[in-house]
Structure 1
Amino acid sequence: MGVEEVGRKPRAAVYIDGFNLYRRALEHRPDCRWLDVRKLSETLLPDFEVVLVRYFTARVRFVEGEDPAAPSRQSAYLRALATLPAVTTHFGTFRSDRRWMAKSPLELDDDGSPRTVRVRKIEEKGSDVSLAAHLVCDAMDGLVDAAFVLSNDSDFVDALRIVRERGGVEIGLMCPSPSPVRSLLALEPDHVRHVRAAAMRDSQLPDRIADVRGVITRPKSWRARSTEAPPEAGFAPGSRDIRGCTANVLRITTGCNRAAQDLLPATKRGPMTTTFTSHAHREGRWWVVQNDQVPGAISQVSRIELAAGAQREAIAFVAEAVVDDVAVVIRMERPS
C-alpha cells in the first residue's frame, strides 16, 4: 500500500453514497439518521487513519404527497456534517418528473399496446458519477492507501477496479446491506465491512451543534426512542427481536444474549455464544448461503470456507447483535 513509515497506519478515504445508505440502512431507523459519518468510518476502520470522508447526496425538495418537513431536516443534517473535520459534501440533482409508464403487472389494450398510467418518478442524478470521479482522482493523486465505498450499488465496479489496477490503492466495501451485490464481490475487495445498526447508534452527532450561523438542533423525529418494549408485547425488558424470522419471535436478551430455546434449535458453545445453522448451495461460481432461523441473513461467497464468517456478519447485521456472540454451522447442499 506504499506505507513506508514504521508504525504508521495506512491512510483511508471513505466515499459515501448518501441515498444508498438511506435506502439500505436508515429509512426504517430514524433514530440513526443524525449520523456522524466520520465517527462511523473510524469505528469500522480501526486499523486505518481516516484522512477523508466524502458524502454524496442531492438536496431534496418538497414533493406533493411527501413529508413537507423532509427538506428542512436534511438541511439541518447537512449543516451538521459541515462542522466535521475532514468531511466534505458533494451534491447531485434531485428530480421529480411526471411521466407515463406501463402498468405492472402488464395489461394490454384492445390493440395490443400496454396500458399506461401517469406517475411521478423521483430520482437523484449525478451523485454516482461524482463519487466515482473523486474516488479515481484521489487514488491517482496518491492521497490515500485504501479507498472504501459505502454503498451497495454495482455502478461503482469500474471505478473501484481502476483505483486498484491503475492507482495501486487497496479497495474496500462498507456495506449497508447484509451482503454486497455479486458484481462488487466479484472484485474480490481487499476489505469488507458491514454497517450495522449498533455502530450507527454509537456514531450519532450531538443533539445540538453550533456553527457560524447559530445552533443546529437534531430533528425531533430523529431522536432515539426507548428500546424497552411494554410487557404486553411479549418481550423481556431490554431484549431485541431478530428481524427476518418468519415463525415465532426469537429473542436475544441484552447482557446475556440468550436465545429462546423453545423457538430455536441452536446449541450453546459458551455463556455468550449462540450457534446457528445455515445452508449453502452453488449458483455458478458462487455459494449462496442462507440461515435457517434468520431467513433475512443471506450471503454470497466465492469459496465455501468463507461462508461461516460471512454468515456471522449477516446474522449479526439482521439481528442487531454482536458478531462475536454468533457462531455458525454450514451445511452444504449437494446438487442432485
Structure 2
Amino acid sequence: MPIVMDRGRIPTRLAEEKCVRPIGSFDTSGLQIALINNMPDPALEDTELQFFDLLDAAASDLPVHLRLYSLPKIPRSARGMEHLGNFYFGINDLLSRQFDGVIMTGTEPHQPDLREEPYWDALGDVLDWAEEHTGSTVLSCLAAHAGVLYSDGIPRHRLEDKQFGVFDDRKVLDHPLASGTAERMPFPHSRWNEVREEELTACGYSVITKSAEAGVNLFVKEKRKSLFVHFQGHPEYGARTLLKEYRRDVRRFLKGERETYPSLPRGYFDDPARKLMTEFQEQALSQRSEELMEVFPESAVGDSLESAWHSSATRVYRNWLEYLAAEKADSSTLVRMARIGRGVTSGLAP
C-alpha cells in the first residue's frame, strides 16, 4: 500500500523516484507518522529517501500518512531553507497535533555539550510534547543521545575513534520490537560518542540489542503515554551511505579540516574494495591535496556494496508499525466505549 503524503508537500526526489499517493488533507484513518529530519543539508534529501524506503518496506498493508518536519535553528544554506519551506511543515504544526508515531533523526553536532546547541530548547519542547501526544517516538543516533540527556541527564561519552561500520547485534531481551528477527542482526553505526548500558539501565531503560564491539544499539523506555525507542545505530541507512560518509571524511582530511586520515568502515567493504581504499589512502598520505578526490574509487566499489541489515531493519520497523496500529485500535475502542457510555453513538439518544 503506497505511503501517502500531503499534496504539494512531496519532495521532488520522492515524487520522481518513489510511489507516493498525494492527499488533500490530514488523513487520520491510517497511521500518522511525523519524520523530524534534522540532518544537515548534504544528507537532508538522502535521509528522506532512506526513511521512506524503510517505512514503505515495513508497512506492507498498513496505511501510513507521512509528514515532514525539522527542528528550527539547525544551520542551513539558502537552498536547504528553500527545501524546508517548500516541503516541510513548521514545528508549531507538529506541536498542535496528535501523531501515532514520530521519528526524529540526529544532526551533525557543533558543540561538545548538546545542551549548548541552538536547537536544544526546541528539541526539549518536542520531547515533552511526544510523551503526551504520540503512541511511540523513535530517536535515531544523536537524537537518542539528546533524548536521554534531556529526560534523565545521561551523558554521552567520547570514543577514541569513530564507531564506524557494520556491527552484529544480538538480542539480550525478548521484546515485541525484536519479534521475528534473527539472533544475528547487523546494523550500521557512525558516531564519535556513545551512551553506556549501565547508565541507561540505572534510569529505567531496557536494552533490547547490543554488540560486543559497538555497545548498546536498540533500547526503550515508557514515558507517560509514549514508548520511546532509541537506536545508537542507523537501520535506515542505504547500501552506499557509509561510503558517502567515508568519502566526506576523506575530503575533510585532504582539505586540512581534520588532522588524521579516517579509519575504514568496519565490516562493510569486501577485500577488493578494501584494497582499493587502502591504496588511495597511501596516495593521500603522501600527496595531501583535495584534487585527489577526482580519483577516489567510489564508483569502483559502489556496486559491490549491500545493505546486509535491510531485513533486520525492516522487521524491527514492521514491529514498530504494528505496535502503533494496536495502540491506535485500542485508543479508538476506548473512545467508542466512552461515547456509547454517554449515549452519543449506535443510535442512542444524545
* TM-score, normalised with respect to structure 1: 0.32
- Structure 1 or 2: more helix by fraction: 2
- Structure 1 or 2: more strand by fraction: 1
